[in-house]
Amino acid sequence: MIWTGLDIATALSDALEKRPGSSPVYFLCSANTHSLCLSLIEMVEINVPSSHVFVVPDGENAKTLSTCESIYLWMQSAGALRNALLINVGGGALCDVGGFCAATYLRGIAFWNIPTTLLAMVDASVGGKNGINLLHHKNYIGTFQQPEKVFVSPHWLSTLSHPELLSGWAEVIKHGIIAGGKHFQQVMKPRPAISDQQAWLGLIEWNIKLKARIVESDFIEKGDRKLLNLGHTVGHALESWSHDVKLPISHGCAVAWGLVYETKIAIKVSPNRAETQRLYEDLKMLVKSIYDPIPRIEGDIAVLMNYIQADKKNEHHALLFSLAFAPGDCHYNINIDAEAVVQALNG
């Protein structure tokens, strides 16, 4: 069940009241989200006396095996059994690690997500992929398990930093390309003002609908779900490389530029299609106007190619991309020659 709306406190307490039995509730937060959501947690603590709170590091630092161990030990020492409910309150990183721990603690307990970043609202908290990193390899360890409930409210966006908002916006652009039509036109327009919660609610709702429709048709990513990787093959490579060269760019910035470069690859596949060329021009203009430029990559194409070749979506050494040829016309498992990728990155 995915609840969307503005009054999250009422929705959460109603849902907790309706939960059968009096199972204990375990809140997982990061330092930031613990202070942001304190009133919500205190409200639940009053209604559910057997509730507990645990705080893990903010952001990507939480997605480690050692954080998982600390979560398991906290739950065990607090007496959590199979009927326990874990509620993850935070961004995509927190939802990822919390979902993974819930899916594996005692071979699986129920969990709910309360996403607090745009990225987590439109992407990470819905879809049932949970995971942690293995050294520098993102999301190498994980599970597919759906949260029992997700509570999504644009209410949290007001405290989000501009770079974090833009990080989530890259996924919204990606969804607009996949959906095409009026949704693509919407992402080409300026974002609503943060104070316009109704506009954000509508926007978040169509993003969740799109993702849910794709995930329902292909939960374990054997087919259509691969479309959601649009922009991410080059995007992840740019992100990892930018950290290597100590000129870090955000995930959203990397994905946004990944969408541009991958459309250039699509032009190599389909050179005579005017719509692909137009999509490339449109995306380049949009991304340039919103995101920071990426550092010069020309001298480091080989390093980027190493990352692209190690992408976990590849099979038998073939480079497999999800590509957009026009808004609403996207395909997956497209085998691309390494030379075509090099040319797209270079030119």
Q: Which residue in the list 129, 175, 226, 264 is annotated as catalytic?
A: 129
- Using CB under 6 A as the binding rule, whether residue 58 contacts ligand NAD is answered as yes
Give the one residue of 12, 36, 208, 341 binding ligand NAD; rule: CB under 6 A.
36
What are 267's two structure tokens? 């032009």
Nearer to ligand NAD (CB atom), residue 120 or residue 267: 120
Please enumerate in sequence order all residues whose Cβ is within 8 A of that of 41, keeping only pairs 6 or more positions apart, or say none: 27, 29, 34, 51, 53, 89
Phi (first) and psi of residue 135, to 5 degrees? 50, -120
Minimum gap (Å) between residue 156 Cβ and ligand NAD: 4
Q: Which of residues 124-143 bind ligand NAD (CB under 6 A)?
A: 124, 127, 129, 138-139
Minimum gap (Å) between residue 298 Cβ and ligand NAD: 28
Give the one residue of 25, 27, 84, 90 binding ligand NAD; rule: CB under 6 A.
90
DSSP states along 316-332: TTBEEEEEEEETTEEEE
Q: Give yes or no for a contact between 154 and 121, defined as CB atoms under 8 angstroms apart.
A: yes
Nearer to ligand NAD (CB atom), residue 92 or residue 258: 92
- Using CB under 6 A as the binding rule, whether residue 93 contacts ligand NAD is answered as yes
* Helix ranges, the chain (H): 8-18, 31-36, 38-47, 65-77, 92-104, 118-119, 162-179, 181-188, 197-217, 232-244, 251-269, 274-290, 301-309, 338-346
Active site residue 316: no
- Using CB under 6 A as the binding rule, whether residue 159 contacts ligand NAD is answered as yes
Side-chain half-sphere CA neighbours of 332 within 13 A: 18
Q: What residue ranges bind ligand NAD (CB under 6 A)?
A: 30, 32-33, 36, 58-60, 63, 90-94, 96, 116-117, 119-120, 123-124, 127, 129, 138-139, 156, 159-160, 164, 167, 251
Which active-site residues does the annotation give?
107, 129, 171, 211, 221, 225, 229, 232, 236, 251
